[in-house]
Amino acid sequence: MSEGKARGARRFAALLDWSGTTIGAPDQWPTALQVTWDLALACPLPMALFVGDDHVLLYNDAFAEQLGDRHPHAFGRPASEVVPEVWGGSHLGALFDATMADDRSFLDEGTELRASGDLADDTPILGHFLRTGSPVHDEDGRVIALLHIAVETSSSLDRARTVTGLATALAVAVTVDDVCKVVLRESVSAFGALSVGICLPSPGPGGWRMARRHRIEDLSPDEERLPLIWSEVPEDLADVVSRSLDHGEPYVSDGAELVAVPLRARSTDAAVVVFRESTPLPRDVVAVLSAFTDLVGEALGRAVAYDAERSTAELLQRTLLPPSLPQSDEISIAARYEPVSEGTVAGGDFYDSFFLPDGRLALVIGDVVGRGVMAATVMGQVRAAVRGAAMTDPRPESVMTSLDRVVWDLDALWPASMPLGSTRARPGMAFGGELFVTMLYGTVSPETGVVEVASAGHPVPVLLSGRAARDDGHPRVRLVDMAVGPPLGLSGHRPTHRQLLEVGDMLVIYTDGLIERRDETLDAGEERLLAALADVPPSSPRSVAQLVMEAMVPESGQEDDCAVLTVGRSPVGHRRAAIVVPPMPESVKAARDWAREQLDLWTVDEADQYTIVTGISELITNAVLHAGTESHLTLDLDTGVVAVTVADSGNRGEPLLTGGETMAVRGRGLSLVRAVSDAFGAHRTSAGTTVWFEVEVALADAGVDAGIGVGDRH
């Protein structure tokens, strides 16, 4: 600050050479002007006097702050010379002229002051102000000056806009995680915070857990989509949060560097904790708090109820699905299931795979029409019946015939008060003939690759051809040319189709929720699927299932449940190794050492080993910190790719750290794995969470270990 600024307006006025102005020295002014000037100097609000026809500008210390670098040179000069960019271009000069000429006062609330009179969107905005102007009269009643008060309201307006943005964002925030992300993002600007934390009840010793966001934190879209990382709240801060909730009002520390805002949701208590610079809390912030707490409390209560219902529905759905799928050296199988995006009900989509007594693998995918507990329960019964029928006679036509009888019985025995489809079912009719189940069932021989499959009203699979099949003239992607019979429960013939899976080939089997859209035909959905698979590089069944889901499910979410089952025939040289990792910090190093030993045996290049071991270290660390249960670490070498899978039985949806700085660990480990790998994915099952990644590798003895599949990568 310059010497003139430091002395203040009163001392600066005393030292000014008034002879250089058009209004003369203060002792020559009319009494009313002297009194008004003394009032302005003593007032803490930004006040200025515009004196005479030239509007000579005099102002107090608060107004000098608004002028910035124009002070002190602006003092005693005509306003048109001090702020020419707004005086002539906007209505400011004309307004002041009219006020003095007409001897009337004015009040402008929320005025947007731009750099010129042009109100185009690209005209720079200097700020938003609340402004008043009052004429000053001499002894004869003539207007000799205008007393002007200008209070900048830009920060208040920004906070008000933040509340509006908060309301808009919370309207589409469904889960607790969604609501908390919105609150953290909007609170940083609403309260001018260095960082903001949101606190929810925790089973930990402190009773509270907190997710935090810093003002300097710039998250990528991928990081924004990751679940929040929660840490236990220190005891002193937990006391502040509890005290604010007990009193039902915000807690503000002495220097206002800490503000705790209690939130009363319908079914849970929560709080927002604001970390600020040690400055007085602006009054408009206090005004914003009421609207803020009402909006967030309502949204959080709604989200808690939604999460509870959805967790129950998803648990039911996923418990009825297999926690893992069988694998062999010759056949690899993977699956993905995505529930419907809206609502909290379970669905009827299901998949399964299991070894038959003769060594073949059974493949099952199906869909019970409808949603809710009933559809999921029927789905579980049908899936169990498939296993029973297949163990007796695994031929597709035999299994389908057995399931017809199961569906007939379910249709007759299910309570009539719980219709599955439309409301047309009447008492005594049970499902009223509306129990509708589609299914695709088949078997695959690991030794020969022969698949025998039949469809009961279910979409036909897609075949991804490997290098050998393409060399024989087969297209990269095609629908399997097979007949489709009637759904289960309806009499009819369902022919068995015989298909040979060559080395490198893959079957993609799915439910209709993957391709159905309200605004298009099923044929159009099939074309979208074929186009998406044509762009998928040759890879493992796991990564293909992930990529298909990412490509086919819209960003807004799908309209129905969908499941994908991918089955690939592995090349010669497929290797697998697995260990169980205890939930202890020292397990991370043990897992790295074990992985290096396996990769050495497989002659994986040193640089690729480093990438793989780095990813393993991050995933095992996450499992130890977040899940708290033992993890199953699996390595697969298949088609020149090493696939790493870490499966735990914990809840990764709400990871909880003990101590440590949230900002330092927020999703960075998973982001690193995604960055260094060639494919990455994560999904939940009834058993817990599975995270995996793949790395294309170079082998010292590629011809032996990767077999003919190595060239299939290109």
Residues 6+ apart with CB under 8 A from 541: 332, 333, 334, 506, 566, 567, 568
Buried b (16+ CB within 10 A) or exposed e, 87-121: bebbebbebbeebbeeeeeeeeeebebbeeeeeee
Return the pLDDT at 443.
97
Backbone φ and ψ of 617, nearest 5°: -60, -45
Q: What are the average pLDDT values for consecutive 10-residue runs of the chain, which has 714 residues?
A: 52 81 87 88 86 90 84 87 74 80 79 47 52 87 89 58 66 83 81 86 81 81 72 89 88 87 81 86 64 80 78 64 80 83 62 94 88 70 90 93 86 54 39 74 94 96 81 83 92 92 91 86 90 79 83 68 89 76 87 93 91 90 74 82 80 41 45 78 66 83 40 35
Residue 691: predicted pLDDT: 83
Q: Report which of 233, 250, 227 is spatially closest to residue 181, judged by C-alpha positions.
A: 227
Q: Are 528 and 522 in contact (CB under 8 A)?
A: no
CB 390 within 8 Å of CB 362:
yes
The pLDDT of residue 284? 58
Beta strand 208-214 with 195-201 is: antiparallel
Is 619 within 8 Å of 691 (Cβ atoms)?
A: yes
Token pair recorded at residue 41: 């100097």
Closest by Cα among 396, 348, 365, 346 to 565: 365
SS3 track for 342-354: CCCCCEEEEEEEE
Q: Residue 205, preceding bond cis, omega within 30 degrees?
A: no
- For residue 283, how many other CB atoms are within 10 A of its CB? 9
In sequence order, which ranges of 134-272 are alpha helices (DSSP H)?
154-171, 176-190, 221-225, 235-247
Q: Which two tokens stand for residue 316?
A: 């039911």
For position 714, what pLDDT does the model report? Answer: 33
The DSSP code sequence of 541-600 is HHHHHHHHHHHHS-TT--SS-EEEEEEEEPPTT-EEEEEEE-SSTTHHHHHHHHHHHHHH
Q: Name the 3-class secondary structure at 390.
A: helix
- For residue 513, give the nearest of 549, 478, 477, 485 by alpha carbon: 549
Distance, first Cα to last Cα, the chain: 66
Rg (CA), the chain: 36
DSSP collapsed to 3 states, 454-496: EEECCCCCEEECCHHHHHCCCCCEEECCCCCECCECCCCCCCC
Domains of the chain: 3-152 (3.30.450.20), 156-314 (3.30.450.40), 324-521+554-564 (3.60.40.10), 575-713 (3.30.565.10)
Q: For residue 526, what are its two tokens?
A: 């099939």
- The torsion angle over the Cα atoms of residues 375, 563, 630 and 308, rounded to 10 degrees, is -50
Calpha distance 419→455 (Å, rounded): 25
Positive or negative, the CA dihedral 452, 456, 460, 461 is negative
Q: How far is CA 487 from its chain centroid?
A: 38
- Rounded Cα distance between 666 and 660, Å, is 11
The two structure tokens encoding residue 536:
């998928």
pLDDT at 651: 47
Phi-psi region of 446 (alpha: psi -120 to 50; beta: other; left: phi over 0): alpha
Rounded Cα–Cα distance for residues 462 and 253 (Å): 64
Structure confidence at residue 413 (pLDDT): 61
Are 461 and 440 a contacting pair, CB within 8 Å?
yes
Residue 451 amino acid letter: V
Query: CA–CA separation, 383 vs 373, rounded Å?
Result: 15
Q: How far apart are CA 373 and CA 343, in angstroms?
A: 13
**Which amino acid is residue 312, in one-letter code?**
T
- CA 269 to chain CA mean position, Å: 23
| Tokens read off for 583 | 């939930």
CA distances from 157 to 277, 285, 531 (A): 21, 11, 49
State the number of CA atoms in the 13 A half-sphere of 32 facing the CB. 15
C-alpha to C-alpha distance for 37 and 502, rounded to whole angstroms? 95
Please give the structure tokens belonging to residue 589.
């190093």
Token pair in block for residue 368: 């019970």
- Counting every residue, how long is the chain? 714
What does each C-alpha distance from 186 to 174, 228, 252, 424, 478 come to in angstroms? 16, 15, 20, 48, 48
Find out whether 689 and 650 touch, Cβ atoms under 8 Å.
Answer: yes
The span from the CA of 544 to the CA of 662, in Å, is 33
Contacts of 347 (CB under 8 A, 6+ apart): 317, 339, 340, 371, 375, 376, 379, 513, 560, 561
Which residues on neighbouring strands pair with residue 365, listed in sequence order? 351, 440
Long-range contact pairs involving 552-559 (C-beta distance under 8 Å, separation at least 24): 552/514, 552/515, 552/528, 553/338, 553/514, 556/341, 557/340, 557/341, 557/342, 558/338, 558/340, 558/341, 558/513, 558/514, 559/340, 559/341, 559/513, 559/516, 559/517, 559/518
